[in-house]
A and B are shown apart, each in its own frame.
Chain A
Amino acid sequence: GDSVTQMEGPVTLSEEAFLTINCTYTATGYPSLFWYVQYPGEGLQLLLKATKADDKGSNKGFEATYRKETTSFHLEKGSVQVSDSAVYFCALSDQNNAGNMLTFGGGTRLMVKP
């Protein structure tokens, strides 16, 4: 079955540091890939997405590139802010599924210190 593996957290960085959160996936079909962010007490917000190989998703300074050859979708940001502190989830939706089921990684907590 489909699966998503993320690096375990917490990841603690100083403000303006470079961020990488690793994500690799296993899927039988041709998945779409997503990064969601969850702030305390809230639901999930879509951060960015990519629907095919070599696509780059970007939003709010965050980027991730769909790498089919390495089955990866690593999240990066050049300069993090305290307000980026949250839990980040990598997810996939398998086109073969024909539905909307998302398979999530375990989440990575990011803590940014001033």
Chain B
Amino acid sequence: KAGVTQTPRYLIKTRGQQVTLSCSPISGHRSVSWYQQTPGQGLQFLFEYFSETQRNKGNFPGRFSGRQFSNSRSEMNVSTLELGDSALYLCASSLYQGIQPQHFGDGTRLSIL
């Protein structure tokens, strides 16, 4: 059974650009959550999607957005990139909303120049 797949694995952007990251959950999983990992702030929750609807949102500015498609695949978008957005972005999936545990992908490493 394939795990959570995140693409791309590495990304380099410059300030002011925008970026889209993709996450394919484990087959049959319908809930997808996103986390940002940085050395300074650690692991922080961004948002959660279930049945194509955002169910929960962390304390991030509106530049961070996401969506989920009918096949449960999810994308997150960051607009007007800032140096501080450099991080490892992790996606996690679970069967349903509110059901643990979550299974994590290997992440997308985003570097802002």
Is chain B found bound to chain A in the same assembly? yes
On whether the beta carbons of A100 and B42 are closer than 8 Å, the reply is no
Nearest A residue to B59, CB-CB: A1
- Which residues from chain B contact A102 at a C-beta distance below 8 Å? 33, 35, 43, 45, 92, 102
B98 at the A/B interface (Cβ < 8 Å)? yes
Taking a contact as CB atoms closer than 8 A, the residue among A34, A99, A104, A105 that contacts B98 in the complex is: A99
Residue with the highest number of chain A CB atoms closer than 10 Å, among B43, B55, B56: B43
A residues with CB within 8 A of B? 32, 34, 36, 41-46, 49, 89, 91, 93, 97-107
The CA-CA distance from A10 to B90 in the complex, in Å, is 23
B107 touches A43 (CB 8 A): yes
Given A99-B98, A101-B58, check contact A46 B45 (CB 8 Å): no
Mark contacts of B91-113 with chain A using CB atoms, 8 A cut-off: 1 yes-contact digit, 0 otherwise: 01010011111111111000000
By the criterion CB–CB under 8 Å, are B101 and A49 in contact? yes
In the complex, the answer to whether A104 meets B43 with C-beta atoms within 8 Å is yes
Distance between A31 CB and nearest chain B CB, rounded to angstroms: 10
Q: Does B31 contact A (CB under 8 A)?
A: yes
Residues on A with beta carbons closer than 8 Å to the beta carbon of B4: 43
B7 CB, nearest partner CB in chain A, Å: 13
Q: A89-B43, A107-B42 are in contact. Are A100 and B104 (CB under 8 A)?
A: no
